[in-house]
Every structure is written in structure tokens, then in C-alpha cells.
Amino acid sequence: MKEFNKVKGDIGEFEAQKFLKNLGMKILGTNYKNKIGEIDIVALDKNVIVFIEVKRRETLAFGRPVEAVDYRKQQKIKKTAEMYLIFKKKPYADVRFDVIEIVGDQINYIKNAFM
């Protein structure tokens, strides 16, 4: 079951990347990991580095996917992003945190999902 969920997650991330590229964003990386955590997609939107969490569900039976990006998850993403910026030598870059939720085949893009 865990591998099945991983495959579904990978498909969701691929769909999200296509969606972002159609918006004119440049994908800088996917599945960025460090000792703190992981960021699904790092993209460039004009001059803003965007850290994107992708959540996918088949139905809304267990709530909206974005609800899984709770305060604790947000803090982990922010700390992981901070390490990314330090590693890439861009500690003062403009950044944004977005969430892409996918329910079935519907994509909902939430810009500035959290600060």
C-alpha cells in the first residue's frame, strides 16, 4: 500500500510540474531533501523562488488535501527552504510558499498558502 501511495504521489507531482510550466514557471528542482525535511517542487516564478507542497487525494472523504499542510508541516517546509537558500547561496531571495492540491483530476493552486 505504501508503494502504491508513493506512485500516486509521484504522478501528482508530475501533474503539478506540468501545471506550473504551463503558467510560465521554471522548475528548479523536485523532491529536494536535507536533514530537516523535503520540498516537493522548487520553482522560479519571475524573480521569486517558490517552494511548493503537492498533496493529492482521490476523494474528499478525508478532507481537502491542503488541510494536511498544517502548522507543523509548514514550519518544517520553511526550515527546509531556509537550508535550501543557504546551500544555493541565495539567503536573501524573495520566496513564496504555495500548495497544489489535486483531487481526482482537478488541480487547485493556492499561491501564498502560508508565510
pLDDT digits (tens, 9 = 90+) for 60-104: 888 999 999 999 999 999 999 999 999 999 888 899 999 999 998
Domain 2-114 belongs in CATH node 3.90.1150.10: no
Residue with cell 491542503: 66
- Domains of the chain, by residue range, sit at 2-114
Backbone dihedral region for residue 112 (phi beyond 0: left; psi -120 to 50: alpha; all else: beta)? left
* 109 grid coordinates: 493552486
Please state, in angstroms and rounded to a whole number, the distance separating the CA atoms of residues 71 and 90. 25
pLDDT digits (tens, 9 = 90+) for 10-41: 778 899 999 999 999 999 999 999 999 999 99
pLDDT band at 106 (very low <50, low <70, confident <90, very high): very high
Q: What is the pLDDT of residue 93?
A: 85
